[in-house]
Amino acid sequence: MSEDAGTGSERYAELAGAGPYGVRPGHALITLVEPHPGHEYAYNRWYEDDHYYAGATAMPWIFAGRRWVATKDLQGLRYPETSAVARPVGAGCYLSTYWVTEGRYDDHMKWTVAINRRLNRDGRVYQDRTHVFTAFQDHEATVYRDGAAGPRDFHALDHPYAGLVLQVVDAEGPRQREELLEWLRSRHLPKRLTGSPAAMVTVFRPTPLPGDRMTYVKQVEGVDTRLTLLWFLQEDPRSCWASLFTGLDAAVAESGLGLVELVAPFVPTVPGTDRYVDQLR
Q: Which domains are assigned to the chain?
A: 22-268 (3.30.70.100)
- Read off the pLDDT band of 1 (50, 70, 90): very low
- Read off the pLDDT band of 85 (50, 70, 90): very high
Cis (ω within 30 of 0) for the bond into 80? yes
Cα torsion angle, 55, 58, 61, 63, sign: positive
pTM (predicted TM-score): 0.94
Range with lowest mean pLDDT among 19-28, 219-228, 258-267 = 219-228
pLDDT at 150 over 80: yes
pLDDT value of position 141: 98
Cα–Cα distance, 48 to 270 (Å, whole number): 9
Range with lowest mean pLDDT among 1-10, 18-27, 179-188, 204-213 = 1-10
- Read off the pLDDT band of 162 (50, 70, 90): very high
Residue 190's Cβ-count burial label (10 Å; 0-12, 13-18, 19+) is middle
pLDDT at 47 over 80: yes
Cα–Cα distance, 82 to 73 (Å, whole number): 18
Q: Which amino acid type is present at position 88?
A: P
Over residues 197-204, mean pLDDT: 98
Q: What angle do CA 206, 31, 230 make, to 5 degrees?
A: 65
Residue 254's Cβ-count burial label (10 Å; 0-12, 13-18, 19+) is exposed
Over residues 19-48, mean pLDDT: 97
Range with lowest mean pLDDT among 30-44, 128-142, 170-184, 206-220 = 206-220
Contacts of 76 by beta carbon, 8 Å cutoff, 6+ apart = 90
Over residues 34-56, mean pLDDT: 97
pLDDT value of position 117: 92
Q: Which amino acid type is present at position 78?
A: R
Phi, psi of 157, deg, nearest 5: -85, -5
pLDDT value of position 158: 98
- Read off the pLDDT band of 2 (50, 70, 90): very low
Residue 67's Cβ-count burial label (10 Å; 0-12, 13-18, 19+) is buried
Cis (ω within 30 of 0) for the bond into 174? no
pLDDT at 129 over 60: yes
Q: Report yes or no: 112 and 27 within 8 Å, Cβ to Cβ.
A: no
Q: Give the rounded percent of residues in the chain with a pLDDT score beyond 70.
A: 95
